[in-house]
Structures are given as structure tokens and as C-alpha cells.
Structure 1
Amino acid sequence: MTQQQIIKQSAEQRFQEELDILTQNDGGAAKPLGWVRSPKAVRQFILGNEQLKISRKFFGDDALVDRAIVTLLGKQGLMLVGEPGTAKSMLSELLAAAISDDSGLTIQGTAGTTEDHLKYSWNYALLLAEGPNEKSLVPSPVYQAMQQGKIIRFEEITRCPPEIQDVLVSLMSEKTMMIPELGQQGRVYAKAGFNIIATANLRDRGVHEMSSALKRRFNFETVKPIADAVFERELVFTQLQRELGDLSAQVSISESVIDLLVTIFQELRQGTTKDGTTLKTPDAVMSTAEAVNIAYAAALEGYYLGDQSLNAAAIAKQLIGVVLKDNPDDAKRMRFYMDNVARERAKQDATWKAFFDAGKTFWQ
């Protein structure tokens, strides 16, 4: 399979050239034991370096990135919390790629996650034939991260039952994993470089609350939505071009359409319009990531089914799939926005008129 056939490459694959540049220019910086690159190089990989032509990949609080790196230098794990779509998973992937050259050691937390997923399991055919040994043991991503001295990513940790979460308590405290079946040989010691980055959505609070013992093993950092509309517009435009890839040169992208999209998201997220009208915020996630998804879908519609442009009418259509997910009341809130905000703007602005005309019947 060629690289072009892969739908989504890992961070270390997508940015291999940049990682190589950082490695070549990382000789004089202090590098922690077990880290592939220095903390300075990790920071530059995530936040960019114009001189070295390293692109910025995380847009938000630079100080948060600094604190995250410092946390991973120490003994505690890093817990990234926030609303869905605030790039928590992306940040954890970038950190793992820059520190360990491997972002693939990952556990996806679900109600079905078991202790085996966190520690180890067995190849039962070999187990029956040869008994318990290293050959018949199937190591978990945590096991591999400890053995190799790498970062392990634990996505949606609060989706796991408490008794499964608490398996991490001893692993993070002792930095050792016991395998009783192997007797005296059954002990895995974590190598330098091992640490955990976990993520959790604030909307999942109460699903499976973390124990106090486990919370003490993590430093918590909150990843917040982007509040600056100008900055968010630039980000959506940049990310859209990246998602479109080779198609970006063939799709006409109007700045007024991007401005309309970001304005809608900003106002619905904050519960107020630019002119002070109070809105009820929808329960649906109105994140920057969702805005990029809408713009991307609308651009594809324009390229394959329309006039090869990103237009406001397509934005109105794609918005339905984001807002109408869980709460039927979100349709009422969106209808209020259309009738009282979009309608008035449509009287003076052609882009808003195209959006209103295309979307006014969707929210009945």
C-alpha cells in the first residue's frame, strides 16, 4: 500500500521531514533520557519554527503546551481534558510523535476495555502447547511502552469502568508490571521515557468518575475552545486547505463563506451574537474541528456536485449533521438563530442571504 492510499497517516509519518530537520538541529540541546528529541525540539514541532520551516500544528494556548511538556519530563502523567473537538487527541499524538517517534501505542477507552488491554493477554494456542512464557504472551500497548521507554496514549479514559482505570494506579506509581504466570521472570520495569498521556471529555463527567488515587497520578490541563474569531478563521482556512490536499487549488474558497461559518460557530458557542442578541447554546459540539469538518464537506460538495466552489448554501446543508445529533431542542435553537439573526443579515449581505435561503426550511 502506498502512502497516498492511506486515509490518515500517523503524525510521525505526516511530518517525517520536519522531525528529521528537528533531529538534525537538536545536537546542542539538553535531552532527557529516553526522549528521541529535546523538550525544545518537541515544542518547536508542535508550535512551529519559521527559521527551520517547521509548521505550527496546535493552535491555542502556547503555555499549555509548555506545561504539558514539563509534566511529561516528570513522574506524573498528563491528563488533557476539555470539550469534544478541542484537539486533545491531536495534541497527545503530536507529543508522542515528537518525544518517542511513535504515536501508535494507544488504548481507546470504552465500556468494554478490560485489564488485558492495559496489561497483557495470552496466545492460547501457544499457551496450551508451551505453557506461559514470553513467546505465548501478548503484550498490551502499555506493556510495550514500558518495555521500550515510550509514551502511551489513553484516549477517553473516563469511558472505562473505574476498576479498569485503577489498574493504572500501581503501574504509574511503581513503574513496574507484574506477570505472576512467569514467576521470578515475570516483572517488567519501565524504561526511561515511559509516561502516559490520557484524554477525557468534560461532557463525559459522571460517566465513570476517576478515583482520587488515579487523579493524583496525573497533572490536569484543560484544552479550551478558541475564543478569538480572527484566529479561528485563519485556522479553519488553513486546516481546510490541508484536508483538501491537491484539491485545494481546484476549489474556490471564499473568505466571506469561512467568515460566515466561524461567526455562526462563535455565536452559538458563546450564546450571544456580535450585536448583543442572547442565544440559547445548542447541546451539540460547536468546536473548531466541527467547523473544519463542515467546510471540508461543503467544499467536496462544491467540487464533485456543484461549481467547484465553497458556498454558503452548502454550509447550511452540512450544518444539519452537526447540530441535529442528540437533543431535539437544538433544532428550535437553530430556528431561532435563523429567524432572528440570519434573516436580518441576509437583507444586507449576499453570503448570508445564500445561507438563509438554503437553510430556512431545514429547521421547521
Structure 2
Amino acid sequence: MKFVDEAHIDVAAGDGGNGCASFRHEKFKEFGGPDGGDGGRGGHVYALADAGLNTLVDFRYTRRFEAQRGEHGKGSDMFGVKGDDIVLRMPVGTIITDAETGALVCELLQPGEQVMIAKGGDGGFGNLHYKSSTNRAPRQKTPGWPGERKTLKLELKVLADVGLLGMPNAGKSTLIAAISNARPKIADYPFTTLHPNLGVVRVGPEKSFVVADVPGLIEGASEGAGLGHQFLRHLQRTRLLLHLVDAAPFDEAVDPVAQVRAIAAELKKFDPTLHEKPRWLVLNKVDMLPADEREKRIKDIVRRLRYKGPVFQISALTREGCELLVQKVFEHIHNVHRSEQPPAEIDPRFGAPQDD
């Protein structure tokens, strides 16, 4: 399936039905009085977060969605039937904004979350609505109110705990295939990954996290070079970034330190807050280094980068060091998640809640 993470759609909620001006006409009832009913409400348009979807491709080809209008009121005290609502299913992580004003309409962050994005118009009043002790034969009626009409921009930001970034052919796809259930395309040429891949990493019973692999970045990505700039938004919701570096490039002219600095600069240009996220250095393909040179090469890269954070030496191909990396990542994600939770209220009858 083609990965689509942006779309524009037009939505139109249903108009309300018109009110009716009518008087009762029955045998032996000369002054039956008003009996015109109100019009029905127009249908609403809802957005529903569906965990079974992962792209916006359904909205690339069908772009207009209209809810049913409400029925008109009728005589004999008959009110109009409301119009049917419509529900648009979207992937979890979709951001909906007004395309004309740029105002945020909603964000779908939880599976099953449902939000009204266009309100149906209310039905008009029939003359029965205006009956009173001083107005015994009202002839007033009102038309139905129009439903909302909007042009909306849909933008998908995948919900992942960990994001993989690095130059093309750094081994990101190989790593996500080694540690998760994802099966991305892997080949020996750059830009094998053309769209984000999501994988669930199982650490133990009821212990897991989601990792996202985006297309490789190159220098100038924030200005449109390469492919990665199109998908950097998918890293904005992650709690941790793993910066994969090819520690044993085939071309000796390639400097891993320069590559790390180039990508860090692109992150800062794209979004300073993304640049400030926790970013761990993962030196990949260490199995390609001679055993007597490995430590010297690793220390040289870290020294030249002046990097003070966690450093991991792995081989995604042979899975060397991957288990330790997964354990440390899970511990970090778990600690961040706990720190984001509001403190539990303490019931004085039972004392403080017990830790997990």
C-alpha cells in the first residue's frame, strides 16, 4: 500500500430541515390550531481514530464528504427526521487543521477517539413552536440552519516511542527487522526505505515499545534534498532518538563524525525541539571492524564528536549488542512514561499506592 501522510478534504455537515406552518383540519374542529412541526437536525461529520489504519490513502482519491440533511417539518405535529451522521476513519496520530485559517481542529491520539469536525445545522421552527396564550394562530416558521462546511488538511504523525535516524545505508532497516516484527525492504543501495516503517519490540511479557524507521537523511534535507525531510515530522512525537552511524564505511573518504554533525544540523533546522530530544549514539556494523581496531575506532569517533551521552556498539546483521540496546531503551521509555503520569491520589484509608 502506498504510504500517504498528507491529504486535503472537503467536509459538509447536513443542513437543518425547514419548519412547517400548518393548521389542524379535522371534522368538527373548526379552530384546530397550529400543528406545523420543526425541521430535523442535519447530520454531523465525525473523525474516528482507527488503530487498524496506518496511512491517509483513503482520502487521497475521495476528497468530499457530505452528511445527510434533516427532513422538513410537516403538519399534524410531525417533526422532521434528523440527517444521518457520517464517520471518517483515520489513523491514530492524525492532526486535523482548517486549511483556510490554519487553526487546529483536533488531534487523534487514542484508538477509538471520536471528534466532531463539522456540526450539522439545527432544524427550523414550525408554527407549533410559536403557539402561546396570546398568539393562538401563529403563521411564523423558520428555515433550517446550514451545516458547517470546511476544507481540512489531514497530516499524519506516527505514534512511536523511539525513532531511528541516520544516513542512507546506515543499517536502520536491518536494525528494526532484527529487534521488532517489522519486515522492511533491505538492499545494498541508498534510499531503500521510501516510507516510514513501524515495528513493535517485545522485551518481555506485557513489556514492549514502538520503534519507527524513516528514510535516510542527507545534508540539505531540511531544504528538500533527498527523501527524509518529508518524514521528519514522524519523529516529533518520539521520546527517544537512536542515531545510527556506519562505523565501518566502505569508502574510506566517508567520515562518520561529519555525517553525525550534518544530520544534527538538519534536525536543528527542521525543528529545534526535535534537535533537543534525547539522542543516543549507536555505532553499527562493528562486526566489519578488525577486533584490534574496534575500540580505537569507537573512542576516536566519540572523542571527535565530544559526545557525552550513551554510546552503543552493535551489529544489526549479526544482532551483536542489540539485546543490551533494547533493554536500555525500554528502561528509558518506561522511566519517561512514569514521569509523565500525574501523581496518583492517595486514599487515606489505604495509604500510599504501591510501586509496580
With normalisation by structure 2, the TM-score equals: 0.24
With normalisation by structure 1, the TM-score equals: 0.24
**Which one has a larger percent strand, Structure 1 or Structure 2?**
2
